[in-house]
Structure 1
Amino acid sequence: MSAGATGGQPAGFERARAVADAVLFEGYILYPYRASAPKNRLRWQFGVLAPPGADASETSYAQADCLVDPGRSRGTALTVRLRFLQVQRRFSRGPGDPPWDEGVVREIDAHADLVPGAVVTRPFEVAGGAEEGRRRWPLRGELRIATEAVPGPYGLLKVRVRAENRTERAAEDVPDGGDTRAEMLCGALIGTHTLLAVTGGRFLSPTDPPRWAAGAAAGCESRHTWPALIDDRTLLCAPIILGDHPRIAEESPADFHDGTEIDELLTLRTMTLTDEEKRQARATDARAAAIIEHADTIAPDALERLHGAVRRRRDEPDAAPGRDGDRVQVLGGWAARGSRVRLRPGGGRRTDAQDMFLHGRTARVSAVLQDIDGGTHLAVTLDDDLGADLHEAVGRFRYFAPDEVELL
């Protein structure tokens, strides 16, 4: 549901939706998915923008700086989509049915032509309401986009996007007349993040910019949010730290609202819940009911895929690291890919306890590598390791300095 959207759907927003939804619903409900579970009584840990002055432990704003390279474009524009959850409290319907806070998705769009010195302010309001034993409280806020030129020869633009909660609540609007965190959340923006799409230009990575833009990137300051590239025209500013180009694993068919890195464990644990526990989870929330349904109906091959996958990085070559002819001098001669060596860990340096199990064992060199500081390392597989072929295939090696091996 959109509150005050300006229309239009940048293609990058659709590509970012799966990751953005994972951010929005992170921690929404946790195993065992019942409202009565202690871990589900203290919720909404990420992206909380509290009403001003309502909770000293939470901020009321989130602000992201990003760099835009307009290139040779004669017109560069930005679309910003603010996304958050509005609390919808479902009151108790009887014994054994505790109150429960649902989250209603809200989206606010704003558009700005990126001209140095331009400022676009987008106030917004989200209505409250009550129906069928549920209540929402009204929210007010502001989305602000400011653009400035970056000094230097490259014509870069620095764009600052700030989302702020400006909700003011009268005493009669505060549930139960209290000032606890649970009541504060009724006036908060939750899971708050922004999606940015640029036309007529491109974003530069905030964390890994080109060398020529490193100084400009160092002048950017983001608070209570972390910008990450979806692609060079789309940016996700999230309340959790993400690397550039984040994505949801294709093996993850369901949303467990728990980081998505432990799907197999959560699926198996959910399968072990009793019928009564599953009934309580289904009654708690529609999203909890979907998790129970997924665990009850998942196909064996889908469950097997959750066990793990091996991928190469996008920028990693198909061939194993190291080239034919790369070699390094070691004790006894020159070692190259395919050489057999005897391991002598330490080389006079401090090592760890694992080395006592490797000292004197023989291995085969799979690659000669250099790190970013110019240091040389040999990637090896042990001769007596029954899984050596598998380790070689997936690029899993043990690493030693040249003075830690002896050529055989």
Structure 2
Amino acid sequence: MTDALTRAKAVADAVLYEGYLLYPYRASAAKNKVRWQWGVLTPAAYAAAGTGEHHWSQAELIAEPPDDGVLQVRLRFLQVQKRVVEAAGRAVPSLTVDGTEYTTWEEAVEREIAAAIPFAALRRGTCVPFHVEGGEDVEPILGGDDARLVRRRAGLRGELRLRGEALPGPFGGVKLRVGVYNKSVWDEPEATRDEALAHSMVATHTLLSIPGGAFLSLIDPPEWASVATEECVNERTWPVLLGKPGRCDTVLCSPIILYDHPEIAEESQGPLYDGLEIDEILTLRTLTLTDEEKRQARATDTRAAELIDRVESMPPELLDRLHGTIRYLRSVTGDAEEPPDVPWWDPEADASLSPESDTVNVAGVAIGKGSRVRLRPAKRADAHDMFLSGRAAVVQAVLLDVDDVWHIAVTLEDDLGSELYAQHGRYRYFGVDEIEPIATEAP
């Protein structure tokens, strides 16, 4: 594995286990009974039965390889492993032996498929088949009469399909396509989703690296490549640049929405599985669990047990670090006024602001409550906002945040529920550069 891929692994691991186990981290919790939501590739037969699942994913992106360049690929996913507690020859939900509880649960086994492919070979297209063995492991429960833990895994088959096509024009570059396919031979039309997941690839993602080369950002490409990047088709995965800003030799094709150069905060003390940006909240909530809830969590999964132990032993100074860190300070010229003795989050902190009467200038038009605007989500918007591109909306409020950035709260003109949303203060928010006036008159 290249140095770039090694450095990228921390972010990829967070993606691999995002949502693996949700607070309060015990099997009996309702939200832990429906699992494996991200990057799931089921067998083709199950996907074709109208289940809403898929058996393949595809990433397309633009690469600039050096002469004789080689593409380093790491396909990573979880294989579901059913851990069953058996007592006297039959499966039971849980069993307590000598004060230790054992729980039936679905664990996961990390899998990684590696390949190194010269770009010259990618012009013809390359297929990398792979097979992951199934199996059964038995672990006796000491002190239990005929009690044991049985771990079962179904075998998996899949394919990596890769192709690189030279871009037309004088600038060079290669349009790279990476497809991941579940080729497991399993056809049970009446199967439940839980049964199908045993034959699925979960949290599927790929790490790509070009030693000595570069990838182009799909979020902010150079002007010469804007048409080529817009034509890239990504299905159930999205490529983002990894590493410090400025690095572009490694990409993560992620099953969850990320931006370029994602990082794990240095203040984070370890994975919490239930969200990537709320360490403090989850840590404090975990500390409030009762001894019985912690016991159940430890019995559910070894990762949950490690999490509970880490949180309980965290010294106060490390917990304080989770409270907040200023990573960027804007330079201010001139004499700063003495800030009022009012918390920034209090509406009285700046009585001069009035979201319902304030206006902001957009293309020479004063936009405020009641203005009609056309939505033009920018590249930084998420998928939900991008679907609204071109829709007409009515401005409900104009807000200024603590970083002096304006936000426009709107409701959709053709949404039958917009009046109800407005009554409850439920709006959609866009930046000034993401709207354009429809009417020329001021509100």
TM-score by length of 1: 0.74
* AA at the equivalent of 1:44: W
Partner of 1:320: 331
| CA offset digits 1:300-331 (Å, max 9, x no partner) | 0111111111212xxxxx7627x78xxxxxxx
Checking the alignment, whether the CA contact within 8 Å between 1:77 and 1:200 is kept in structure 2 is no
Q: CA deviation at 1:33?
A: 0.6
| CA offset digits 1:140-183 (Å, max 9, x no partner) | 00011111111110111111111110001376xxxxx9611111
* AA at the equivalent of 2:156: L
Checking the alignment, whether the CA contact within 8 Å between 1:75 and 1:200 is kept in structure 2 is no
* AA at the equivalent of 2:184: T
Partner of 1:141: 158
Checking the alignment, whether the CA contact within 8 Å between 2:45 and 2:186 is kept in structure 1 is no
1:396 corresponds, among 399, 403, 410, to: 403
| CA offset digits 1:316-347 (Å, max 9, x no partner) | xx7627x78xxxxxxxxxxxxxxxxx989448
Distance 1:181-1:153 versus aligned 2 partners, 3 A rule: same
1:90 and 2:83 aligned: yes
2:54 corresponds, among 39, 59, 82, to: 59
2:116 corresponds, among 94, 111, 114, to: 111
Q: CA deviation at 1:259?
A: 2.0
Unaligned runs of 5+ in 1: 1-8, 172-176, 313-317, 325-341, 354-381, 383-390, 402-408
What are the residue-to-residue correspondences of 1:2-401 with 2, within 5 Å?
A: 9-55=1-47, 56-70=51-65, 73-93=66-86, 94=92, 96=94, 98-115=103-120, 117-132=123-138, 133-169=150-186, 179-230=191-242, 231-312=247-328, 320=331, 345-346=358-359, 349=366, 351=368, 396-397=403-404
Partners of 2:106 and 2:93 in 1: CA distance:
17
- Equivalent pairs counted in the alignment come to 324
Partners of 1:269 and 1:13 in 2: CA distance:
34
Distance 1:346-1:124 versus aligned 2 partners, 3 A rule: closer
Counterpart secondary structure, 1:92:
strand
Checking the alignment, whether the CA contact within 8 Å between 1:205 and 1:228 is kept in structure 2 is yes
Checking the alignment, whether the CA contact within 8 Å between 1:62 and 1:224 is kept in structure 2 is yes
Counterpart secondary structure, 2:46:
coil
More deviation in 223-232 or 185-194?
A: 223-232
Partners of 2:164 and 2:369 in 1: CA distance:
52
| CA offset digits 1:256-303 (Å, max 9, x no partner) | 112221111111111111111111110110111111111211110111
Partners of 2:186 and 2:369 in 1: CA distance:
59
Counterpart secondary structure, 1:89:
strand
Counterpart secondary structure, 1:91:
strand
Counterpart secondary structure, 1:75:
coil
Partners of 2:77 and 2:4 in 1: CA distance:
18
Unaligned runs of 5+ in 2: 87-91, 96-102, 139-149, 335-351, 371-399, 408-431, 433-443
Distance 1:399-1:213 versus aligned 2 partners, 3 A rule: closer
Counterpart secondary structure, 2:310:
helix
Partners of 2:127 and 2:190 in 1: CA distance:
33
Partners of 2:213 and 2:318 in 1: CA distance:
41
* AA at the equivalent of 1:96: S
Q: CA deviation at 1:20?
A: 0.4
Q: CA deviation at 1:352?
A: 5.4
Q: CA deviation at 1:229?
A: 0.4
Q: CA deviation at 1:42?
A: 0.1
Counterpart secondary structure, 1:167:
coil
Partners of 2:282 and 2:7 in 1: CA distance:
26
Partner of 1:361: none
Partners of 2:193 and 2:233 in 1: CA distance:
29
Partners of 2:265 and 2:71 in 1: CA distance:
29
Counterpart secondary structure, 1:142:
strand
Counterpart secondary structure, 1:221:
coil
Counterpart secondary structure, 1:123:
strand
* AA at the equivalent of 1:310: I
Checking the alignment, whether the CA contact within 8 Å between 1:252 and 1:260 is kept in structure 2 is no
Counterpart secondary structure, 1:88:
strand
Distance 1:217-1:350 versus aligned 2 partners, 3 A rule: closer
Distance 1:99-1:399 versus aligned 2 partners, 3 A rule: closer
Partner of 2:440: none
Percent identity of equivalent pairs? 48
| CA offset digits 1:207-250 (Å, max 9, x no partner) | 21111111111221111100000131000000011100000111
Q: Which runs of 4+ in 1 moved over 4 A?
A: 342-345, 347-350, 398-401
Distance 1:248-1:136 versus aligned 2 partners, 3 A rule: same
Distance 1:187-1:95 versus aligned 2 partners, 3 A rule: closer
Checking the alignment, whether the CA contact within 8 Å between 1:127 and 1:139 is kept in structure 2 is yes
* AA at the equivalent of 2:25: Y
**Aligned residues: CA RMSD:** 2.6
Partners of 1:263 and 1:255 in 2: CA distance:
9
Partners of 1:139 and 1:75 in 2: CA distance:
33
Distance 1:157-1:95 versus aligned 2 partners, 3 A rule: closer
Counterpart secondary structure, 1:199:
coil
Q: CA deviation at 1:117?
A: 2.3
TM-score by length of 2: 0.68
